[in-house]
Amino acid sequence: MKKVGVALLGLGTVGGGTYRILQNNHDAIMKNDGIDLEIKHIIEKDVTKAQALGADLSIVGTDIDAVVNDKDVQIVAEFFGGIEPAKSFLIKCLLAGKSIVTANKEMFSKNWVELEAAAKKGHAGLYFEASCVGGVPIIRTLTESMQGNNIRSLMGIVNGTTNFILSQMADDGLAYSDVLKEAQALGYAEANPTADVEGFDSMYKLSILSSLAFRKKVPISVIHREGISQVSKEDIEYGKMLGYTLKLLAIAKETDGKIEARVHPAFVPDSHPLASVKGSFNAVHIVGDNVGDIMLYGRGAGDLPTGSAIVSDIVFAASQPKPKYAPFKNVDKINPKDFTDNYQCKYYLRLNVRDQAGVIAKITSVFAKHNISIQSIRQVSDGETATVIFLLHKTFENDLTKAIALIEKLDCVVSCDATVRVED
Amino acid sequence: MKKVGVALLGLGTVGGGTYRILQNNHDAIMKNDGIDLEIKHIIEKDVTKAQALGADLSIVGTDIDAVVNDKDVQIVAEFFGGIEPAKSFLIKCLLAGKSIVTANKEMFSKNWVELEAAAKKGHAGLYFEASCVGGVPIIRTLTESMQGNNIRSLMGIVNGTTNFILSQMADDGLAYSDVLKEAQALGYAEANPTADVEGFDSMYKLSILSSLAFRKKVPISVIHREGISQVSKEDIEYGKMLGYTLKLLAIAKETDGKIEARVHPAFVPDSHPLASVKGSFNAVHIVGDNVGDIMLYGRGAGDLPTGSAIVSDIVFAASQPKPKYAPFKNVDKINPKDFTDNYQCKYYLRLNVRDQAGVIAKITSVFAKHNISIQSIRQVSDGETATVIFLLHKTFENDLTKAIALIEKLDCVVSCDATVRVED
């Protein structure tokens, strides 16, 4: 029987969940996987958290060096969140030859290159399944199951808070601010919701996932990011009428060797597998040149779902005869030439116009001048002014921005009230 | 650079797809995974297939011993289908220390114990991701990502032919026999469709998937099997009215240490993630005690999707420092005590009754005597006779069978036209 010593850094939500799974599944893991996992250290200031879990208090402390210097510890699982002290602690552990397992998407996405270098130097492993989409095995799928594919696109709902908010807005016809309050009351959104609702959390995850999909490091600096705080219930309703569902998507595509990566609200057709992902559930949709469309769906957060991914990584790490510090070879550098921000999208455009003759002709002639082709036009309300919704074929963002500036100056146009990208 | 010699047994649909992926992705696999895969032998009687692919004809032959005796072959991928000669060939290869990769669900599910023993004896690996659900990485997920879970249930749409037929019946209101003809014309169904439509293919896959989910060998002999040839368009329509979608499901659950495994048509609520899996797509839904609900979705068949799984297994096999012949320890035997066929289901029941007073009272009193509890009753048509649909709470199959026999004898009942299990 292989004995493996584990240290847990932090006993918050996921740390606590991991502790419980390791206790409850210890014997099953021993039987099925032949590994005897023993928790040797818990680094946690708040001893009451360890008490609440019934942990052996003699292994609870605050000194990371006790972990680093314990030759019986092979794996360190980190749950601090934030950049420091997580990063410094983990680099110390890696250099000391201890493999690390982390759920910390922000720290990991911002310091992957440095962590990988430390792991290589220390002959240690680097495992991060829990950093993206909780218990959904998306990292293992990208690293261990897609070797026969060039991945064309990766598109995911990777944040449960925003998906809960958008689902509630769609189901109940409520405004963003009302649903946010409800989500905060239910514990689905933080008191300060910025990291979720402005798309930062999705951006960290997209950086990790797209790097694996395209086997190139995709840093957060190349990711276009917009959140959902400007989404209106009107557009969700109009979208429904047109057969679209609004989601906050993390999108990455590779075309002719160039990667585009972006996080923003987007309409997907109701028939798209991502459209039926409701509430706090997450899903990632991948298109590979050989495998075609696949999608992985599940809980993106929570103590036990994320703890499940952490434990899976601990067992996976403990089973490797040689630590894995990099899922793919030749991807230890960031190369600015790999990326483009000059991408094309389909668009939904909502205009408020005066209800008079010739309006559509004037607007469409501006589109024509910018080579923007129209998929459909719908006039959705009457009165002194009218609402007109355009669905536009793929166009460069730059062209659209110029066209909208001209359209807004037309006498017959009161305002351009919304532009939403469409993915299908 | 690690050089790995590969032999392909058979150049049919999936064999041809695999050949093409190995050719096209050779350099990418070398760059990303550090493995130089070389096709050393192709065993195929029909040389024109090799010609059509542009293969080097000097490596094409029919002698399996050429593969067995070639010390430069480490991995053998099998695409013959059927039991023999696939089984004998693969056992020879395993005993000679060559790892095998197979998509052959029938041969594998019927001979797993024997293949595993041969692999163990020959110090070779046994890889079978492609045997279930094409390119969807369900095997890798069950073996490498669920170590922190006791899986409670696995429920899948694992056959594209039947899902295509049921989807068309639902969308177009057509009868089974008409859609089957269409499916045959389109190439979605074989001229002899029995293996698909009677649930054999799903049964083989369920045997493999449930064995991995519960870490116990689940032989096909313990799987209850029904196909879709008796499904009527009426029941699909009535199901729609009640908010249910009809699917051919492969279901396995573990309760108190006992496994139930069954393949049959079943209603799932429209809100269930499996309900939106349309056409020839497949999906597997898993509930783990920690991870909660997860679902994997994608193409279950086809040259390139299944070839993608084969190539992923070849690279995975080539990357293991020590061949893996068993995904879990201590599961090399079949234990009859692990299984039960005494399971409970919810039911949909369609009766044709005379339109007279007291009918419902008589029927429901039979249910009451058998401890069968009613969830809802709906009378859906009028005339001389009426159609009554019952949704029943969970009941033992045995009790339901007895109750139906008595109900059919009632004067007021013309016939019991359909019973369909309901899963939610």
> How confident is residue B387, by pLDDT bands cut at 50, 70 and 90?
very high
B149 interaction partners in chain A (CB closer than 8 Å): 25, 308
Q: Are B136 and B340 in contact (CB under 8 A)?
A: no
Does B81 lie in the same domain as B111?
yes
pLDDT (0 to 100) of residue B297: 97
B273 touches chain A (CB under 8 A): yes
pLDDT (0 to 100) of residue A380: 80
pLDDT (0 to 100) of residue A209: 98
Does B150 lie in the same domain as B121?
no
For chain B, positions 296-355, list CB contacts with chain A under 8 A. Answer: 296-299, 302, 304-305, 307-312, 315-316, 321-322, 328-331
pLDDT (0 to 100) of residue B203: 98
- pLDDT, mean of residues B352-366: 93
Does A101 lie in the same domain as A33?
yes
Dist. CA B320–CA B316, nearest whole Å: 7
| Number of structural domains found in chain A | 3
A135 touches chain B (CB under 8 A): yes
pLDDT (0 to 100) of residue B155: 98
pLDDT (0 to 100) of residue A383: 75
Contact A322 B321 (CB under 8 A): yes
- pLDDT, mean of residues B204-230: 97
Contact B321 A316 (CB under 8 A): no
Instruction: Tell me how far CA of residue A102 lies from CA of A23, A109, A280, A282, B161, in angstroms.
Output: 19, 11, 22, 19, 41
Does B277 lie in the same domain as B244?
yes
Task: Look at residue A336 and tell me if it is in a domain.
Answer: no
> How confident is residue B150, by pLDDT bands cut at 50, 70 and 90?
very high
Does A187 lie in the same domain as A100?
no
Task: Look at residue A195 and tell me if it is in a domain.
Answer: yes
Task: Look at residue B332 and tell me if it is in a domain.
Answer: no
Contact B290 A307 (CB under 8 A): yes
Best of A23, A27, A141, A145 to disrupt the B interface (most B CBs within 10 Å) is A145
B146 interaction partners in chain A (CB closer than 8 Å): 308, 312
Dist. CA B271–CA B252, nearest whole Å: 21
Does A118 lie in the same domain as A29?
yes
Which CATH number do you get for residue A418? 3.30.70.260
Task: Look at residue B336 and tell me if it is in a domain.
Answer: no
Contact B147 A316 (CB under 8 A): yes
pLDDT (0 to 100) of residue B268: 98
Q: What is the pLDDT of residues B3-55, one digit of tens each?
A: 999 999 999 999 999 999 999 999 999 999 999 999 999 999 999 999 999 99
Task: Look at residue B208 and tell me if it is in a domain.
Answer: yes
A136 interaction partners in chain B (CB closer than 8 Å): 294
Of B29, B281, B294, the CB nearest to A147: B29
| Sites in chain A below the pLDDT cut of 70 | 382
Residues of B acting as catalytic residues: 205
Does B309 lie in the same domain as B374?
no
Residue at a domain's end among B299, B332, B357: B299
Does B156 lie in the same domain as B63?
no
Domain with B22 in it: 2-135+305-319
Contact A291 B304 (CB under 8 A): yes
- A205 part of the active site: yes
Best of B290, B306, B329, B332 to disrupt the A interface (most A CBs within 10 Å) is B290
pLDDT(B381) > 80: no
B311 interaction partners in chain A (CB closer than 8 Å): 147-148, 290
Residue at a domain's end among A286, A319, A352: A319
Q: Are A353 and A390 in contact (CB under 8 A)?
A: no
Instruction: Tell me how far CA of residue B159 lies from CA of A43, B164, B200, B214, B339, in angstroms.
Output: 49, 9, 10, 21, 24
Residue at a domain's end among A246, A269, A299: A299
A289 interaction partners in chain B (CB closer than 8 Å): 304
Which CATH number do you get for residue A49? 3.40.50.720
A295 touches chain B (CB under 8 A): yes
Which CATH number do you get for residue B207? 3.30.360.10
Residue type at position A163:
N
A307 interaction partners in chain B (CB closer than 8 Å): 148, 290
Q: Are A175 and A290 in contact (CB under 8 A)?
A: no
Does B62 lie in the same domain as B105?
yes
Dist. CA B150–CA A28, nearest whole Å: 9
B28 interaction partners in chain A (CB closer than 8 Å): 150
- What pTM value is reported for the model? 0.96
Q: What is the pLDDT of residues B51-85, one digit of tens each?
A: 999 999 999 999 999 999 999 999 999 999 999 99
Task: Look at residue B329 and tell me if it is in a domain.
Answer: no
Does A198 lie in the same domain as A54?
no
B288 interaction partners in chain A (CB closer than 8 Å): 135, 308
A276 touches chain B (CB under 8 A): yes
3-state secondary structure chain B: CEEEEEEEECCCHHHHHHHHHHHHCHHHHHHHHCEEEEEEEEECCCHHHHHHCCCCHHHEECCHHHHHCCCCEEEEEECCCCCCCHHHHHHHHHHCCCEEEECCHHHHHHHHHHHHHHHHHHCCCEECHHHCCCCCCHHHHHHHCCCCCCEEEEEEECCHHHHHHHHHHHHHCCCHHHHHHHHHHHCCCCCCCHHHHCCHHHHHHHHHHHHHHHCCCCCHHHCEECCCCCCCHHHHHHHHHCCEEEEEEEEEEEECCEEEEEEEEEEEECCCHHHHCCCCEEEEEEEECCCEEEEEEEECCCHHHHHHHHHHHHHHHHHCCCCCCCCCCCCCCCCHHHECCCCEEEEEEEEEEECCCCHHHHHHHHHHHCCCCEEEEEEEECCCEEEEEEEEEEEEHHHHHHHHHHHHHCCCEEEEEEEEEECC
Does B121 lie in the same domain as B89?
yes
Best of A35, A268, A287, A294 to disrupt the B interface (most B CBs within 10 Å) is A294
The one catalytic residue among A87, A98, A105, A205: A205
Does B16 lie in the same domain as B52?
yes
Contact B144 A316 (CB under 8 A): yes
Q: Are A72 and A39 in contact (CB under 8 A)?
A: no
Task: Look at residue A339 and tell me if it is in a domain.
Answer: no
Q: Are A104 and A80 in contact (CB under 8 A)?
A: yes
For chain B, positions 198-217, list CB contacts with chain A under 8 A. Answer: 215
Q: What is the pLDDT of residues B160-195, one digit of tens each?
A: 999 999 999 999 999 999 999 999 998 889 999 999
Contact A296 B291 (CB under 8 A): no
Q: What is the pLDDT of residues B270-283, one digit of tens each?
A: 999 999 999 999 99
Of A21, A129, A322, the CB nearest to B290: A21
Task: Look at residue A329 and tell me if it is in a domain.
Answer: no
